[in-house]
Structure 1
Amino acid sequence: MCANPWDPEWDVSSGLVRRLLDRQFPELSAETVERLGHGWDNIVYRIGSDYVFRFPRRRAAVPLLQTEARILPKLSDYITVPYSKPLYFGKESTDYPAPFLGYTHVPGVLPTGLSDAQRARSAQILAQFLKSLHAFPLDTAEAEGVPHDQRNLSDIAGRKERMLGFLPKLSPHLGSETAGALESYIHTITLGRASTQKALIHGDLHYKNMLVDNTGIISGIIDWGDVNVGHPACDLSVAYSFLPPSSRPAFFETYGEVDDETHVLARMLAVFMPMLILLQSIDDRDERNKLEATRTILRALA
């Protein structure tokens, strides 16, 4: 039984990946297999120079991957930032009990350690990307089985309670000043639930699902496993988590005006998501992500 929501139910080794590819996609048999990393739901392998494959680590990830497989090909006329397009649709087998996907490789690196000036240069790129994504026809998304707010992100009161519950474990790793600022911020949130707003959203837009080029400018969006119809504030959280305060006005000038409630929810999620990343990083003893998650929390609070 898994102790944490990020603990794997299935081990996906490089040997297993090699075996699955050889049997299902023999045209890739000569390609190299390199593990890139993992998130809560999937483990990721680079296959040769052109492809990336994602394999579920948990049963809960399977329907998310299946939704992704259906909706991602339909986004190409709407998305203004490169994203991984599924090309290989692996099937469950006696070797491995879940389907898996192979995508075009999107060049770039995770946006860790960037300066505020580097981040600011992506403000309008991110805003236009989200403006276009959120304009995707909802009837098309629903026809492809995209779920509605499956993570209940508009439940502000419930999320506030969870954030307060995280503090005892996080505080020793944040330091007293940052932990105090974080607790004070959480207590300022008085809204209980966000009103219903519907748009097609990425659903998990944080620094581990974004890529930048060698100048630090956004070059790709990855991991669409949480794509859903929900409140656009979930994605707009990048204005607080990724961008410095000075570039937020330019972001919303391009995206368009949003109401005060959306700003409240966007900032809250910009704090909540790196808190989760920090919790996992503590358990994994991952110092790099501990540092980046902490910096993200501070930026969102600024």
Structure 2
Amino acid sequence: MDDEQAVAAVLVAPQLKRFREICEVDGPIEPRFDGSTKHVLLAGDRAFLFPRNHTIVTQLERECDVYATSDHPTVPKLLGRWNEPAISPYPFFAVTRLPGSTPGDLSSEHLRVLARQLGAALAACHDLSLERVPRPLWANAWSEPPMAPPTAGDCYTPLRELGGAEQLVKSAAPSIGPAARTTLLDALEAVDAMDPVLAHGDLYENHLLLDESGTLTGILDWGFGGVLSPLVDFTCSQWDSASWAAERSYGELRRYLWTAYADHRSAPLPTWDQVHLALTMFDIAALAPETETHYYWQKSAEWQAARRAAARDCLQALLE
């Protein structure tokens, strides 16, 4: 099936004709149907985003709010929004088309290079002033936004979702001593006290673009973006198992991400040792069989058990 025939899955002939007229698209259109929430039609230097169904409209509008707000070159820019029933029953959007393709299998060296680039790009994205962020983005995608911009004490954080600092320390208490509990609590509280940022919220390889040289060119799919704890972009829980396997040691991916991030952020941040402790404790709690979260939901039970065991070993070593 050629591209023109495939486009008919989104726009039948009369709709396509109207689309070309309204959106001034004369040349070829490349369809991309592999996204779970939207169909994408690529036309020249633009990408047109169509929600798959009515349940996705709000999420896509949220994503485009980010594109209208962010000014980083790796984040698409919003170019237009249309409500045209003769084209689509749902609103659709145009954003800048960024060059590159999603990463393939990553070697250890490529993983480190990508992590450093991504950490630096996230630092620039997170430095955006929250005064510019519209109210619909003041919470995560499944919560109503508050009346005032969230603070470190009331924004969404992965640690708070898992019970908060004191509960996480309590769960680790049987295997560590009093001094270690104090160290762990201090680390968790320092990490949870980070000021909120406009974060991606669903970051993994399929949402990244690299050019032929391996340079990061795009961070896509911000539909779960919002004013959240910076930590949400460092859990790495949705990264593919193959990328985890490229780590030479537990925590390597996050270490390169965080150290590059800290080098480029303008805000005060906790140390890597504190972040490492917090994310190690996050893995132990998020991967517990009794825990029901969206983290790691795509990973097998065997993978989760092995990762949790590695996190436990790491926590013991860090607190010795």
TM-score interval, smaller chain: 0.5 to 0.7
Q: CA deviation at 1:249?
A: 3.5
Work out which of the two has the higher radius of gyration on C-alpha atoms and give 1 or 2: 2
Match of 2:265 in 1: none
1:253 maps onto 2:268 in alignment:
no
Given that 2:203 and 2:238 are in contact with CA atoms closer than 8 Å, whether structure 1 keeps it comes out as: no
CA RMSD of aligned residues (A): 4.2
Q: CA deviation at 1:273?
A: 6.8
2:17 and 2:56 mapped to 1: Cα distance? 24
Alignment of 1:68-107 (within 5 A): 68-76=63-71, 79=72, 81-107=73-99
2:66 and 2:93 mapped to 1: Cα distance? 13
1:148 maps onto 2:139 in alignment:
yes
Given that 1:154 and 1:265 are in contact with CA atoms closer than 8 Å, whether structure 2 keeps it comes out as: no
Code of the residue aligned with 2:64 in structure 1: it is: A
Given that 2:31 and 2:41 are in contact with CA atoms closer than 8 Å, whether structure 1 keeps it comes out as: yes
Alignment of 1:1-302 (within 5 A): 13-14=8-9, 16=11, 19-20=14-15, 22-26=17-21, 28-47=24-43, 49-76=44-71, 79=72, 81-141=73-133, 143-151=134-142, 154=157, 195=192, 198-238=196-236, 241=239, 244=247, 245-246=251-252, 248-256=254-262, 257-258=269-270, 259-260=274-275, 262-264=278-280, 275-276=296-297
Q: 1:239 to 1:16 in 2, by over 3 A?
A: closer
SS in 2 for 1:89: strand
Structure 1 unaligned blocks of 5 or more: 1-11, 161-187, 280-293
Residues matched between the structures, number: 243
Per mean C-alpha deviation after superposition, the further-off stretch among 113-122 and 81-90 is: 81-90
1:109 and 1:30 mapped to 2: Cα distance? 24
Match of 2:266 in 1: none
2:254 and 2:224 mapped to 1: Cα distance? 25
1:209 and 1:132 mapped to 2: Cα distance? 17
- Identical pairs, percent: 23
Q: CA deviation at 1:58?
A: 3.1
Q: 1:154 to 1:111 in 2, by over 3 A?
A: same
1:34 and 1:82 mapped to 2: Cα distance? 21
**TM-score, with normalisation over the residues of structure 1?**
0.63
Given that 2:19 and 2:25 are in contact with CA atoms closer than 8 Å, whether structure 1 keeps it comes out as: no
Q: CA deviation at 1:221?
A: 0.8
Q: String of CA shifts for 1:3-34, please: whole Å, max 9, x gaps.
A: xxxxxxxxx84451764453245154422222
Q: 1:36 to 1:149 in 2, by over 3 A?
A: same
**TM-score, with normalisation over the residues of structure 2?**
0.60
2:294 and 2:113 mapped to 1: Cα distance? 23
Code of the residue aligned with 2:210 in structure 1: it is: V
